[in-house]
Structure 1
Amino acid sequence: MNALAKTAGGIGCAVVALPLLAALVIAAAFGSLLPGGGGASAAPSAHATSDIPAPMLALYRRAAPECPGLSWTVLAAIGKVETDHGRHPTMVSSAGAVGPMQFLPSTFPMYAYPVPPGGRYPPTPWDPVDAVFAAARLLCANGAKDGKNLRRSIWHYNHSDEYVNQVLKIADEYAATAVPATGAAGKAVAFARAQLGTPYVWGGDGPAEGGFDCSGLTKAAYGAAGITLPRVAQAQYQATPKVPAGQPLLPGDLVFYGTPGRIHHVGLYIGNQQMINAPNRRSVVRTEDYRWKDYLGATRPSNQGTSQ
């Protein structure tokens, strides 16, 4: 699911040529790093544009940044489940919840302020602008911020695991499917997918070392595609063609975290806001949301042929 962000944990990645103790200190400093940011960026699928009234689609996308790390698709999925985006004839539930996002009148005031642009004053759960922004704030207060616990935040909206699963399924359907990776990028993505579940090993380049770290995985993935990358994340960032800021990412792009002079992590973007990476010693190679809060930018090794 493109909006389901998982805790990243410590960086645990061979980032620069440092003594092991210094590297461990840096890893500890990033131990609480979480995915997040850019939650309104996913493009709507054809299904989303046909199912969601245009004003509501625009509203979901405008409200999502109220909670860093929250995708508009989650707001839209809740709006779908609750009232079919305001199409329900009465919008009053048996429990007394009202309006397009089904707020209890006693709960709504906790999330109604500040009144968003275009909302009513005083705010009301019957107003779509007020209600959608309040829904974003409710989710944010209960785990959606920076992707800390999206499932928990949706469960707080309606205390049902079945409800959570339904919302996440619809949210996934509302996100546009990424362009399939081809050529060298496609080979790199295929290699990385084949490594899912492989243990994390600091400095690991593959099975001979028992597993991968972050830059070892990306180096091996592009090696399988005939493109040689340097060994550490900092060097990979410096050696590969940059994706201009604001340009959509493509499967096979490398995504980097930190600052230009101190990059601490790299992953392989696979589309739908997801990357494959080797996050830390407590994990394995896995798929997760790429939108961490210190995301720096992306590069496109497939644009360069063979690098030094």
Structure 2
Amino acid sequence: MTTSKFRLFLLLGLAGALLLVLVVVSPMLLISVPSFISDGGGTSTDCTDDVQVEGVSDSAASDIPADYLELYKKYGKEIGVQWNILAAVGKRETDHGRSNLPGVKSGTNYAGAAGPMQFLISTWGGKARVSMSSEFNGYASDGDGDGVGDVYNPADAILGAAKMLKRNGAPENVRRALFTYNRAWWYVDQVVEIAKKYAESGDVRVPPQASEECDDPLVAAAPSEVVAKILQFALAQRGKPYLWGGTGPDAFDCSGVIYAAYRAAGLTIPRTTFEQWPFGVKVAGGDEQPGDLVFFNAGPGTGPDRPGHVGLVVSKGKMLEARCRLCGPIKVTSYQARGNRVGFTRPLQNPDVLDQLKRLQNATL
């Protein structure tokens, strides 16, 4: 054996021995790395809870000003996004308002962004301070209740940022929401790493039901075989895009995915939200069950007696919905926090559907 080959052999042997020592002596080095499941995954096997409340790490407590930390946690909970993601955005953008760069406390930076959360003025409402009594198109928000959405006010800016992240996919799809906030994947990676350090668990939690791992328990808990088939089809559409008027197979609107799910179970119900609302038997809030529909006063031409948005109840407090083109893909979300909820219906109790169920039952005998 030549000297060079002997040296190579010796180095390979030493590397193998070192790896063996790591595995035998310190197995926790291989299993204790905190995980972040992007695009809607989750590490929890509990398929009933919302986003788990993250404790504040020592790193967060020492780095985030107390007033900012309170705002991140308050509006994270109120809007339904991870507080540590909000805080990580604030850190990455302006060091929680402590930066003295242009645009943080006044004016704008070179890109036209302003305030502690660095909103583009065009996305805030067209100007830095927006009267909340006026009509505007943007994320201007009034966190401190003074009637003005001030992009330089931390309470207003953090509330606006929470709304923006929520609209674009959080808490289920954090990475997508962050990419919309600042269209660069390196930015997304940096914010996620900061968020992990801020959480006591060293992770970024997403709703467990955002994970496909929770589909089987939801289907198994269905009150009937028919409802199980409805849920199975509906949940399989998660991740597909919203398309107004869409009934699949590649994209759906809110009522279209429900219409298709019922058809997958051999049942025909009305196609549109406006038709689905009077079709089902009304169900009192709290009595809803999987397979029922939940309606919202949302969208053009809608009202309290004419809801324009619908979701499919998959478990208590949870629904599958195709919300809007800018709201992210079809996903499982919470309906309990929605302030414009109109009510619930049960299409399976409609006389026509009951006749269809009888025919299906007779066909299997």
What TM-score comes out, normalization by structure 2 length?
0.41
The structure with the larger Rg is 2
Structure with the bigger RCO (C-alpha within 8 Å, sep 6+) is 1
